[in-house]
Amino acid sequence: MDLHDTPDRADFRRRLREWLGERLPSGPVDGAPAEVDLARLLAWSTSLHEAGYAGLTWPAEHGGRGLPPAYQGIFAEECALAGAPDQLNVIGLNMVGPTLIRFGTQAQQRRHLTPILRGEHLFCQGFSEPEAGSDLAAVRTRADAVPHGYVINGDKVWSSYAHVADFCLLLARTGEPAARHRGLTCFLVDLRAEGVLTRPLRQINGESNFSQITLADVSVGEDAVLGEVGGGWPVALTTLAHERGTFAITLSARLRVQFERLLATVRATGRAGDPDVRASVARLHIDLQALRYTGYRALTRLSRTGDPGPETSILKLHWSQTHQRLTRLAWELLGPEAALDAEDAFWSGYWQSQLLRSRGDTIAGGTSEILRGIVAERVAGLPRSR
């Protein structure tokens, strides 16, 4: 497992810090991060591409820089520490792009890969459904074959950034329900097509970062199939592995920044000498270090094999639980002052908003129950429970 930067990585980190320092204010030490709008996020994506920081690990023939996965980890850490905005096309860059490189036809790659890098083709993911949740083998959205293509009907939910996306990597059933995962196919669906309705869903903290997608007799061509017909399961698993692996490293890096905000909150509330608070903070620090080194282990495996391993599920599972514990501790420290609608609320209600948002962490990207099953069977080698 690689724990230290090589000279080349150290130089990459130094130059990235300088670039971020020229374009961003000093990194967030306390308080809520500044709100950003769609135009600013698009401009930031353009800046990343122009500077060569989009598609770091993509092969050079597909517009990337062909760097080892460790460089993506460095990029994630430094952007988090600098308080950089989100990459609006994070799903396209980190999940759909690698899946297209592995399973896409040359025509699909030519159509999408360069626009993904430029931020021109924004992607979302259409896997979860109202009646299936994280059990992808229970997907009900159907894609029925017609001459020269398919007609898709169904609903998807929990689709992050779908309300601003241009395309969706969609999982649909082309076989019989009894076939479970053997009857699924992945499609690249244009969200501007007739019959597609995207409805943003408001979360309990007031934000609307994900949506429900309804597809009513949506026609797609045969060229929309990603991978083989009936072979959508390995395509979906590849996408999810990248979501839980490379993107989890980004989330873990942001959590380290949020830990610094927690320390600032502890000091601001005069609880720095409280032994119970100190013990809770120490446990969180240990959890963060465990996440960090698990991320390094995942990156090392990815560098050696080219594919994220099942250990990435540990990252997502542990990150989601740690985020909930961290935000709850900060909220408890503040008490009534944490409320969003309190007059002159501490950091404008930042911690209550984060606490409410964290409730979805153990659902999105695979529920904790699903992830524990993956870890038990594929990491610990335990027998299947069913």
Is residue 243 part of the annotated active site? The answer reads: yes
The tens digit of pLDDT for each residue in 319-344 reads: 999 999 999 999 999 998 888 777 67
Burial class (CB in 10 A: 0-12, 13-18, 19+), 185: buried
Tell me the HSE value of 320 on the side-chain side, using a 13 A CA sphere: 21
Q: How far is CA 268 from CA 25, 263, 339, 356, in A?
A: 23, 9, 16, 22
Q: How far is CA 81 from CA 235, 248, 281, 291, 329, in A?
A: 33, 15, 20, 16, 22
Which residue is catalytic, options 77, 78, 129, 243? 243
pLDDT confidence bin for 32, thresholds 50/70/90: very low
The tens digit of pLDDT for each residue in 341-370 reads: 776 778 888 899 899 989 888 887 778 888
The beta-carbon contacts of 279-285 under 8 Å, at least 24 apart in sequence, are: 280/329, 281/329, 284/259, 284/322, 284/325, 284/326, 284/329, 285/259
Q: What is the DSSP letter of 174?
A: -
Structural domains of the chain sorted by starting position, each given as residue range(s) with its CATH number in brackets? 7-118 (1.10.540.10), 123-231 (2.40.110.10), 234-379 (1.20.140.10)
Q: For the whole model, what pTM was predicted?
A: 0.85
The tens digit of pLDDT for each residue in 226-247 reads: 999 999 999 998 887 776 656 6
